[in-house]
Amino acid sequence: MHSRPLRTSVIGSYPFPSWLEFASRHLAEFGRADIAELQDDAVIAAVHDQVEAGLDVITDGEQTRLDFNLSFYGFIEGIALEAESPRRFGPPAHDQRGKHAITGELRAPRGLGAVEEFKRLRRLAPAGPELKASVPGPYTLSGRLLPDGRYPDRWAVTEALLPMVRAELEALVAAGCREISVDEPSMSCYAHREDPRRFVDIFNRTVESVAGRVRLCTHLCFGNYKARAIGPRRLAPMFPAFLDFKADEMHVEMASREFAEIEVIAEIARRMDVAVGVVDVKSYHVETPAEIADRVRLCLRHAPADRLVFAPDCGLSQTARWAAQPKLRNMVAGVRQVRGELGL
């Protein structure tokens, strides 16, 4: 499934409005109708910023997900959620997120919640932009669950979660979703120490029932919790194995890495569309349209226009909204400048 040349997109998340941050810490004071109103209003704000920027593809900003993984764990039976972070002070790091115990068979009888998110986005978004849903893949979703006797290691936990993610993808397609990102940043973080072919097998079995029926994207980055990476920031360990992903679009983090290994996008573009991160979500430098245009021209030296998509390096949830807004506006402006030069 191909897209328009030099398409503009986002990964998924967007910064919460300040009032949503406050409300999320005091949810016990709100009724169900109040919370539904909060969720709608937050999605409206995220959609507004993306539409105002002029993006071709938008999301709900993941405004109902207080945490990329944890929000899904609330739908899964057999997990005892950790009450509080194990380390609450000191410099930010991934250990502040904690781990959660498996207490029984892992099941998701109500799904994982992504279908309801998509239906909300479809109800609130204006006509025009393509609507994208995002779901973590099973390996990434397994990352904060502690193996137990039933599931002795992360691979076993992943296999237990895989049918749940596959079912959620099928339900999204049935609900009318035309573009889904199956995000597996944990695969890119750990490809240097695991067999990347095993990751390919997991990804392809996850998406096999919807491949060809929906535009499938995947996001590969090196971690962004509190704007920190967790894996070696090198693409080489993933390739050529990851070229066998059954995906229509593969996103790679480039801007924060000064476009190191840019040549890999040529390899990806021979198999699928390649979404290049041209906005550094870890930096508060707001890229100018001219800077973005230069980055687009650089990518065009390696891949054809009809295979290129442009997006931020990662989700924007860890970037302040005052910076996220102009970063997206300038990204779209820079891409449009090059489109004009090419007569697209």
Where exactly are the structural domains of the chain?
Answer: 7-72+108-342
Residue with tokens 């191909």: 2
Lookup: tokens for 56:
């071709």
Q: Write down the pLDDT at residue 99.
A: 82
Instruction: Please report where in the chains the tokens 């999605």 appear, as a residue.
Output: 43
- Cα distances from 222 to residues 55, 192, 234, 252, 276, in angstroms, run 24, 11, 9, 10, 14
Q: Do the beta carbons of residue 40 and residue 124 sit within 8 Å?
A: yes
Task: State the 10-residue block means of pLDDT for the chain, 344 residues long.
Answer: 85 93 87 92 97 98 74 90 74 70 94 96 97 96 91 96 98 98 91 92 98 95 67 86 97 94 97 97 96 98 98 93 97 98 94
Instruction: For residue 226, give both structure tokens.
Output: 């509190």
Q: Give the closest residue to 165 by CA, choosing from 104, 209, 120.
A: 209
Residue the block writes with tokens 């899964």? 76
What CATH class does 7-72+108-342 carry? alpha beta
pTM (predicted TM-score): 0.92
Compute the distance between CA of residue 138 and CA of residue 152 in angstroms, rounded to an integer: 16
At which residue do the structure tokens 């679009």 appear?
Answer: 249
Rounded Cα distance, 304 and 93, in Å: 38
Tell me what percent of the chain is helix, strand and coil, each rounded to the nearest 5. 45, 15, 40
Beta carbons of 262 and 298 less than 8 angstroms apart: yes
Answer for the pair 237, 196: CB distance below 8 angstroms, yes or no: yes
Q: Given this model, what pLDDT does residue 81 score?
A: 82
What's the confidence (pLDDT) of residue 240? 95
| Distant-in-sequence, close-in-space partners of 115: CB < 8 Å, separation ≥ 6 | 168, 171, 172, 175
Contact 185, 219 (CB under 8 A): yes
CA 333 – CA 278 distance, rounded (Å): 12
